[in-house]
Amino acid sequence: MLQHWRGQAENARTEKYSYQVRGREITGANYRESLAGLKIPKLGLPSFHDWGSLLRFLLQENLPGYYPFTAGLFPYRRAGEDPTRMFAGEGTPERTNRRFHLLAAGQPTARLSTAFDSVTLYGDDPHKRPDIYGKVGNAGVSIASLDDMKKLYSGFDLCAPTTSVSMTINGPAPMILAFFMNTAIDQQVEKHLRENNQWDAAEKKIKELLADTPPPLYTGDLPAGNGGLGLALLGVTGDQLVDAATYARIREQTLQVVRGTVQADILKEDQAQNTCIFSTEFALRMMGDIQQFFVDHKVRNFYSVSISGYHIAEAGANPISQLAFTLSNGFTIVEYYLARGMQIDEFAGNLSFFFSNGMDPEYAVIGRVARRIWARAMRERYGANERSQKLKYHIQTSGRSLHAQEIQFNDIRTTLQALYAIYDNCNSLHTNAYDEAITTPTEESVRRAVAIQLIINRELGLNFCENTLHGSFIIEELTDIVEEAVYAEFERISDRGGVLGAMDTMYQRGKIQAESMLYEQGKHDGSLPIIGVNTFLDPSSKTQTEVEAELARSSTAEKDAQVLAVEGFRKAHAEHSEELLKGLVITARDRGNTFASLIEVAKHCSLGQISNALYAVGGEYRRNM
């Protein structure tokens, strides 16, 4: 490390830098010129002269892009692509598609993050049943079929290197992911037909296939930027329009280039968020099936799971518990995949993480600690390669820190939390809108939320430097304190039989609840000051809980449209669905790869149909009491 240091330092002080990622050379400028005409370096370097201090720095910190990756995963931030990934989802697929195009307008990349309604989260189809109907399209988008997914992402080329999609789905994650992969494949089939002058013949074939059923349509006008890609194959699938060899080639090419993330983390669902639908053992098995499918088909750019601490924090956990529970869940998934016979470097690169950033001091170093612990474990415990050692993570600013009182102050808190994340070199960031304290955000509030990131990334001068926190005495001390606290929590989990053993006694849930009570008590007795909520109250306000804001809700027309759409889909595909569902049950019962089967089943079956078929094998979720 000492021998390589001089080369590292020189590369950071020349006019241009150069390094390799997956055999591709990345180059750029080492300096940015300020308005005053000064050349501002992108990286700050330590000024140590003795080898002992330098070696301690290299072993604990190092520059970004070097083991143990405390300062960041890559030598420099990705040029031309901000970490902005905004969360959206409401009403019908068409309504959310319009929001996605609004968020992506003017951006060089489309980094889409998708919220699903509770009907979808629990694996059901839209229905007139009272316990389902009222929830359709509220607090998330309603997705029940392949056609819904095609509408949702229409106009975005899912195989373009500038497109990346994240989906916040857990219990039914394998089914939603199967819809998504088929959507991406069918987009490429559509492009192939148009580019090879075969579209006229394909249109005739589509009319024949849909002759007996009303063709599904995108309701309303297409938003600006949506050229209609993905909509031409509504009601049909690509394998019905091209020969088997062509379809197989397009499918494999698509799987190898599509970018994105599916959450799929069933462990934190049991511990915190509760959207479990299958038994934990069966849900883990399907997670493993997804990853095995990714290994078999060389899916390298899509993350098979986003191991999530955000929901643990939102349920009430403090930053130490959030980080310790999340990392321990990650190591449990690693051990499970290894036990299934996969090699560490076959799957570790497909794992990603998701944390919350609140106002506590520990959040300033949550990424640094996570990267260091993961890198050391991967290298020293598992013998993994460099790609596997890199912990990639998304940050969402804290939803719990948003308050209905003095609602305009929420943007201030979100700005500070975003600053934590960007200074810590997060890989992806969502900034909450100020009105998310009470509703799905409006276009105006989302624009402000995106502006927070853009102003930090493109205007804040200190952020021109890409290792801003490096060398701070308090940041280094905080990193060590938090790391030690996480290891202590690992010991407590290990004493209870590991993550799954601790879950059996509800250890994680109990700890989260206790920490939530401590936060709420401090909030209500004033010992935890929150400006405009429990201190510095506005004397002119009649009541601190009166807020004038538009509540976003799906309309009766939108609910009815989704109910009719899924009924139409099931009727149109009735000829194929029953046989496919029987085959899926047999595959699951015989411990075959359920995801490989789902890729085919998702072409002709709805989400609710698939969930109900799998309950017969995997069982429905029941909490241990």
DSSP string computed for 433-462: PGGGGTSSPPHHHHHHHHHHHHHHHHT-GG
C-alpha 625/C-alpha 612 separation (Å) is 25
The per-residue pLDDT for 127 is 97
Which residues in the chain come in under a pLDDT of 50? 542-545
- Contact status, residue 278 vs residue 620, Cβ threshold 8 Å: yes
Half-sphere exposure of 597 (CA within 13 A, CB side): 22
Amino acid found at 13: R
The single residue listed with the structure tokens 């927070």 is: 452
The per-residue pLDDT for 133 is 97
The per-residue pLDDT for 443 is 85
* Structure tokens, 591: 């411990």
The per-residue pLDDT for 285 is 97
Please tell me whether the overall predicted TM-score, pTM, comes out greater than 0.85 for this model. yes
Q: Is the dihedral of CA 496, 498, 502, 508 positive or negative?
A: positive
- Contact status, residue 618 vs residue 282, Cβ threshold 8 Å: yes
* Structure tokens, 270: 């049991």
DSSP secondary structure string, 72-103?
-SSSSPPTT--SB-EEE--BSHHHHHHHHHHH
- Contact status, residue 512 vs residue 312, Cβ threshold 8 Å: yes
C-alpha 128/C-alpha 13 separation (Å) is 65
Order the strands of the 428-430 sheet from edge to edge.
305-308, 351-357, 393-397, 428-430
For residues 184-201, one letter each, b for 16 or more C-beta atoms within 10 angstroms of the residue's C-beta and e for the rest, the string is bbbbbbbbbbeeeeebee
- Contact status, residue 165 vs residue 153, Cβ threshold 8 Å: yes
Helix (H) or strand (E) holding 360: none
